[in-house]
Structures are given as C-alpha cells and as structure tokens.
Chains A and B, each alone.
Chain A
Amino acid sequence: MEAFTKLTAIAAPIDEINVDTNQLSPSRFSKTPRGPAYANILLHDARFNADGSEKDYVLNRGPFRKAAILVTGRNFGCGSSREGAVYGLHEFGVRCVIAPSFGEIFLNNCYKNGLLPVTLPEDAAADIRRQLRERPGAQVTVDLPQQTVTDPGGKLHRFEIKPVRKRCLVEGLDDISRTLQYQEAITACEARDRASRPWLWFNRA
C-alpha cells in the first residue's frame, strides 16, 4: 500500500451532499478489473454524456482535472460497499477527500487503499469549497503526521484521525500483514470458541 504523509495539491470542490458510491462508480462498470480504466468510471454519469463526450462538471474544468484532493458535501460515499468508488478516486489521482461526514463502509475502503478521508466541520468544508470556486486551481495542503489541512487562504484546520489509521497510512502498512503478527491470539480465540460453542464446529475443518 502506498504511504501517505504530506500532500500539497490542487483541490476540487464538490458541493453536492450524499454523493453515493453508485454515482462514484455506476453499477454497470463493476465487472471492470481494477486498473487505469477506473479514472473515467469515477463519477461517470456526472462527467460524461451517453455518447462519451464530456459534460460541464467540475472535474472536467481546467485545473480541476489535476485535482488530488476533493472537498465535498456531507455523507460522501454513502450507499453500497462497492470498492470501485475508491478505485475510481485513486486512478483519477485523488489521494484525499475532505468532507463533513462519510459513508462508513466507504471510509474503511479508503483507509484500506491508502486514501486519506478527512472530516472537517460543515462550515469549514463549505468555506474551503467557496475558496476553491473563487480561485480554481488553488492548492490545499494536507499534513497527516500533523493532522492539519491548510486551505488556500492559509488558514489551518486541525482534524482527528484514529492513531492506528494514521500509523497504517503513514507506514503504508496493509491490514493482512498487521493481523498475521497475531496468529497465535487468533488460534487461541478459536480454540475457546470451539470449547464454548461446539455445535458450530462439528462440521468445520
């Protein structure tokens, strides 16, 4: 997994709320294996017409094509568990999404793919989006070790993140490696379960 430390990049404002994973990655693309094709699957129906031509959507406008940070409305990534939503962001080049709140499964999918979700209060997020609309192409800095976002106007916003999430992102540590350090504890827990709920185990290996 790619590590995430500090990022200074163009940020794009997405004002809508409840942008669900089906908009982020429409169902009909779900057979697509992970890869560069996901860059255009991202928000496909908002970005493209049926004939493939571009619509007037924020990510199709000048500097926002190079956005590596999105600043969005609340409940971003709600809905289905599909991970294509995160693949799309990743392939488009987005490494960080800033929002007042996120869909919970989407949040986990972000962490597990090296994408940083930052939760900022509603008015702070709205204010950053306003700045980005007024100055298209303005940059935002996200410093994970310091847990801060610096907006285009230079204002510093502190954010919270679970220490373990931070450590895994900063070190680029994937979850399976993290877990397998504890194989003994897993086996012991299974043995306890076998003793207390034997009916679940009679047909298991």
Chain B
Amino acid sequence: MNQPLTLFEKIWTSHVILEEEGEALVRVDLALIHEGSFHAFRVLDEAKRPVARPMQVYAFADHYVPSTGRDRGAAGVADAGLREMLALLEKNTARFDIKLFGLNDEHQGILHVVPPELGMTQPGLIVAGQDSHSCTHGALGAWALGMGASEMTHVLATQAAWLRKPGTMRIALDGAPTAGVTPKDIILAVIAKIGAAGANEHVIEYAGSTVAALSMEARMTVCNMSVEAGARSGLVAPDDTTYAYLEGKQYAPRGAAWQEALAYWKTLPTDPGARYDREVKIDVAQLSPMVTWGISPEHAAPVTGTAPDPDAAPDANKRAETQTALEYMGLAPGASLLGIPVDHVFIGSCTNGRIEDLREAAEVARRGRAVVPAWVVPGSAGVKRQAEKEGLADVFRKAGFEWRDPGCSMCSAYNGDELQPGQRCASTTNRNFRGRQGRGVRTHLMSPAMAAAAAITGRLTDVREFMKA
C-alpha cells in the first residue's frame, strides 16, 4: 500500500513541477489579483514579459472601491487617486485578456468572497492570491496562499511559484458551540491559544466534529484567519457540504465533468493513518464569544473577561508587548471588556461579509437601534442582492445601520473608508493591528452578532444578553 498522505500532501505532490535545493516549482491553478497588483504589471512590462496563462487569472475591484455612490459607476468614485487605480486595473487586465470583476460587474466583490460564490475555487486546486487572506479559499479543500507583488509577478509570468513545502498542523475542533459562539469566536480562540506565530511555516488542516458540522461559509471564516496564526494557508477536507455548495455554481463543472470532478475530489481527504507534524486540540463546547483587547489577533479574550495585567506576564517580552498594546488601545490593565464604549461599528470584509454573517448580524439588529455609526458592507454584489432579497437590508436600515456597497471598505482602509485617530471600532474584520482602520484607530475584532450588539448598546456587549430577550 502507498504511504498514507494528508490532504495537503496530495495537493502538493500533484502540482510539483520540479525540486531544486529544498524548494519546489509548483504549478498554480488560479491566480487572483486586485487593484494593488499594479506593481506586478509594471514589473512585467519592465521585463517585457507577457502573462503566461491569462485564462487562469481573475481580477477583482475590491480594495480601492468606495462603499457608496456606486450606482453612478466610476463617476461615483469621488477620489481621483482611487479612480485612477481602478482605471489602471481595467487597462492592465484588458491588455492581457484577464477576466476582471470590475466596479460595475454584477459579481463585483472581494477576491476571497466572489470565487467561492461562483464556484471557481474547487477542491484540490492551488490558488494564489495577492492578499494574505487568500487562505480563505482553503475552506473548499484547495491549497490557497497569499503572495506579495514580486511572487505574484512570477505567477503571472509563469503560472507557477517557487515554494518551500510547509509542515502540516492539524487543529482538531470538537464539541458543539454554545449559544452565541460563532465561527469567528472559534478562530479567535484558536489564535489566542496558539499565538500569532503559532503556525509559522505550517499549513493548518482544520478537522474534527465541529468542522464537519460547519457550513461552507463558516469554514471560510475559520480558514480566513489562518494567516493571523502565522500559517500561510489553512484548509478543510472536502465533504458533502463542499459538494452541495459547489453544485450548480457558474464556474463549477457540470454533467459528466461534474461526476469526474466529484470522483477526484473524493480522493483528496487525508488518508487514515497519515501523520501531521503537529496537532492541536480545542474543545469548542468550552468557548465563549470573544473580542480582542489589543493590537494582535492573539490578544483575544472572552467578552466577559478582562484586559490582561502586564505585571502578570510570564516574561519581560510579553510584559512590554502587553503594555504597548494596552497603551495603544487606551485600556487600563485588568479593565473589564464588557462596557468599553465604541465610536463605530463595521460589519463586513472577507472574514465576515458573506450572507450567513449578515443574517447573524441582522438577527441582533432586529432587537434595537444603533446608537453609534454602524456600517454594513456586503462582501460582494451577490451577497448584497441576496441580503436585499431576504429583507436583511431593510432590517439594518430600520435599525439605523448604514447599508453600503460591496468591497473591502474599512478593512483595507485604502478607499477613504477610515476612522479618526483615537476612535474605537467594533469590527468583524481580521486584523486589529495599529493603524489598520486609520491612523491611531483602535480596533476590537469580534463576530457579526457581537458587532451588531455593540452598535445597539454603543459598548462591547455580550451578545448572549440579546439572545435571552
């Protein structure tokens, strides 16, 4: 019998072109780019090289699109610099015959939301995206990894990448989440446990009974934040949930091709007896709704908890780190997280901008009225249409939330959607780094339900309070 292999090893082996001194040249199935990829096109031009496989490259207008005024197309983009970035993407993709989901496309949206939604991301593929949250696509059993401009330039020029084989890490999530605990809380708890560098140089496979019971979109939320634990990718083995999600989607195979693809996908899950380099176990039944208190996603705690006391830190490094974080966040050591007043709420991003996220937030929004500015930004035009059809947009509007146009918005903060220094934001995004949502802005990461609850009370709130009512 062949040696048992993990899901990742199967994908890796089938894509390696050759190996050279500990690195492999690996074939890339799908490359995903956005407005920020203009660096890559400039380098290609300087080197006088074409795009090798334009049919395997897709481009998205997402990072730099404003979240209002979009019914007026490019004319609705007030900032000339942003208009220029969008025009440049149009020009570069047209020149090389790359399919662009542009400003006015019916499927415009975030590069990690649209491809799964249209069935482009499929099990067994290698997906390379020019954004570190490309790991999102791993939810479908693809090996998906983020890249910088130089690596992406190389992919565009060759449809391949030089990579080192990462180690494998299995994160077993078992147990049923209690009320109020969402996929976002699960992944925040994972990161808090293993640390922001806990999975460096590893690819994570999420497994266990909790994962098996999660919907496709929930798996995307979990995989999305793999990079916040230091892993370039996280994946979930394909199963019936995956197949049901893909069937009938625009880019998914059909008819006889579907049967062939399905047979192949079913060979992908990890073989019994395959070994991982590392294993971590988490009892999901023990988790509570989480929020971050600091400036790294690992600075997360149950919402009923407190900000840490630097003096209780195990070593000098950790003490200094905690101090810096609390100072930036304007929190006292030991401060209780419940009740911290917020200035703004942001619901959206490739972490939590899908339809299930909006349903979750709307469920809470129904129960009150926003007392601080609260934005809801769908991850794609498709999500927006669906939410409007389901009446969620009306729920949000009625509750005083702002219903905006799809894109990265206040997650990338490249597009004019940013806050003022010192402002505090309850956000469903993936990074609470200093300045991520604008210079000096303080970000608390949490689930869509918790963010909606914060909008209604104007404070960090335990969403379970609303569930009792």
User: Are A and B subunits of one complex?
Assistant: yes
Q: Are A109 and B158 in contact (CB under 8 A)?
A: no
Query: In residues 7-46 of chain B, which contact A (Cβ within 8 Å)?
Result: 14-15, 17-18, 20-23, 25, 27, 29, 36, 38-39, 42
- Per the bound structure, the CA–CA distance linking A162 and B165 in Å amounts to 13
Bound Cα distance A31, B122 (Å): 32
Q: Mark B191-231, 1 if CB is under 8 A from A, else 0.
A: 00000110011000000000000000000000000000010
Q: Does any Cβ of B come within 8 Å of A113's Cβ?
A: yes
Among the stretches A56-64, A132-140, A191-199, the one at the interface with B is A191-199
* Contact residue among A23, A78, A81 (Cβ-Cβ distance under 8 Å from B147): A81
A45 at the interface (CB under 8 A from B): yes
How far apart are B49's CB and chain A's nearest CB, in angstroms? Answer: 7
Whether A45 contacts B439 by the Cβ 8 Å rule is yes
The verdict on A105 contacting B435 (CB below 8 Å), with A113-B150, A193-B27, A202-B257 known, is: no
B22–A163 CB distance below 8 A: yes
Choose, from B51-59, B101-109, B281-289, B457-465, the stretch at the interface.
Answer: B51-59
Instruction: Compute how far the CA of A199 lies from the CA of B257 in the bound complex, rounded to whole angstroms.
Output: 5
> Known contacts A81-B131, A179-B160, A182-B18; is A17 also within 8 Å of B150 by CB?
no
- Chain B residues in 8 Å Cβ range of A112: 148, 150-151, 154
Q: Which of A101, A175, A185 contacts B18 (CB 8 A)?
A: A185
Q: How far is the CA of A162 from the CA of B201 in the complex (A)?
A: 14
CB nearest to B88 among chain A residues? A31
Interchain CB contact under 8 A, A28 and B414? yes
For chain A, give the interface size range. 35 or more
Quick check: B435 and A27 within 8 Å, CB to CB?
Answer: yes
B253 near A75 with CB under 8 A, answer no
Q: How far is the CA of A28 from the CA of B160 in the complex (A)?
A: 31
What's the least CB distance linking A77 to chain B, in Å? 10
Query: Shortest Cβ distance from B290 into chain A, in angstroms?
Result: 19
A83 interface hit (Cβ, 8 Å): yes
Known: A17-B317, A26-B435. A186 touches B146 (CB 8 A): no
- Contact of A27 (CB < 8 Å), options: B148, B159, B413: B413
The answer on a CB contact under 8 Å between A101 and B414 is no
- Chain B residues near A27 (CB-CB < 8 A): 412-414, 435-436
CB distance from A48 to the nearest CB of B (A): 11
A205 and B414: CB pair below 8 A?
A: no
Closest CB in chain A relative to B379 CB, distance in Å: 18
Query: Which B residues lie within 8 Å of A164 (CB)?
Result: 20-23
User: Within 8 Å of chain A (Cβ to Cβ): is B324?
Assistant: yes
Pick from B18, B201, B260: contact of A104, CB under 8 Å: B201
User: Who on chain A is nearest to B27 by CB?
Assistant: A189
Q: Let me know if A155 is at the binding interface, CB within 8 A.
A: no
A185 to B39, CA, bound (A): 28
Taking a contact as CB atoms under 8 Å apart, the answer to whether B439 and A26 are in contact is yes
Whether B39 contacts A16 by the Cβ 8 Å rule is no
Counting chain B CB atoms within 10 Å of each CB, which of A30, A81, A108, A112 scores highest?
A81
Given A15, A22, A80, A186, which contacts B434 in the complex, CB threshold below 8 Å?
Answer: A22
Cα distance, A106 to B232, chains bound together (Å): 11
Query: With the chains together, A20 CA to B431 CA distance in Å?
Result: 11
Q: Contact between B321 and A204 (Cβ–Cβ < 8 Å)? A: no
Contact A109 B230 (CB under 8 A): no
User: Residue A5 at the B interface, CB < 8 A?
Assistant: no
Q: Does A83 lie within 8 Å of B230, measured CB to CB?
A: no
B249 CB–A CB distance under 8 Å: no
| A81 and B146 form a contact (CB under 8 A) | yes
Task: Report chain B residues within 8 Å CB of A17.
Answer: 317, 320-321
Among residues of B, the one whose C-beta sits closest to the C-beta of A202 is B257
Specify which chain B residues have a CB less than 8 angstroms from the CB of A202 in the assembled complex: 257
Closest Cβ of chain B to A34, distance in Å, is 6
Contact A104 B17 (CB under 8 A): no
Taken residue by residue from 1 to 34, chain A's Cβ proximity to chain B (1 for < 8 Å, 0 otherwise) reads as 0000000000000011110101100111011011
- B154, A179: Cβ atoms closer than 8 Å: yes
Given A17-B317, A108-B148, A205-B54, does the pair A30, B414 have CB atoms closer than 8 Å?
yes
Within 8 A of B (CB), among A170-192: 175-176, 178-180, 182, 185-186, 189-190
> Given that A23-B434, A27-B412, A164-B21 are known contacts, is A109 also in contact with B321, CB under 8 Å in the complex?
no
A105 contacts B146, CB within 8 Å? Answer: yes
Residue pair B17, A182 in contact (C-beta under 8 Å): yes
Complex interface: chain A residues within 8 A of B147 (CB): 81, 105, 108
Q: Chain B nearest CB: distance from A111 CB in Å?
A: 9
- 3 pairs of A and B residues whose beta carbons are closest in the complex: A112-B150, A199-B257, A164-B21
B interface list, Cβ under 8 A from A: 14-15, 17-18, 20-23, 25, 27, 29, 36, 38-39, 42, 47, 49, 53-56, 64, 81, 85, 122, 124-125, 130-132, 146-151, 153-154, 157-160, 162, 164, 196-197, 200-201, 230, 232, 253, 257-258, 260-261, 264, 296, 317, 320-321, 324, 412-414, 418, 421, 431, 433-436, 439
A→B interface (CB under 8 Å)? 15-18, 20, 22-23, 26-28, 30-31, 33-34, 45, 50, 73-75, 78-83, 86, 101, 103-106, 108-109, 112-113, 162-164, 167, 175-176, 178-180, 182, 185-186, 189-190, 193, 196-200, 202-205
Could you give 6 example pairs across A and B, Cβ below 8 Å?
A33-B42, A79-B433, A104-B201, A163-B21, A175-B154, A179-B25
20 further contact pairs, Cβ within 8 A, besides A197-B124, A197-B264:
A17-B317, A28-B414, A50-B439, A74-B197, A78-B197, A101-B200, A104-B201, A104-B230, A108-B151, A162-B23, A176-B153, A176-B158, A180-B157, A185-B25, A186-B27, A196-B264, A199-B260, A200-B122, A200-B125, A202-B257
